[in-house]
Amino acid sequence: MPRSSDEELGARIHGIAAPVTDGLGVELEEVEVRGQKGSRKVRLVVHAEGGLDIDVIARVSRRVGEALDEQDVIDGAYTLEVTSPGADRALRSARDFARNLGREVRVTHLAESGGGETVGTLMAVDEDEVRLEVEASEVAIPLGNVDHGKVVLPW
When the pLDDT of each residue in the chain is averaged and rounded to a whole number, the result is 89
Distance of CA 34 to the CA centre of its chain: 17
Distance of CA 146 to the CA centre of its chain: 16
**pLDDT recorded at residue 1:** 40
* 130-137, Cβ contacts within 8 angstroms, sequence gap of 24 or more: 130/94, 130/97, 130/105, 132/105, 132/107
**Does the pTM exceed 0.95?**
no
Amino acid at 129: E
> What is the Cα–Cα distance from 46 to 41, expressed in whole angstroms?
16
Q: Which residues of the chain are modeled with pLDDT < 70?
A: 1-4
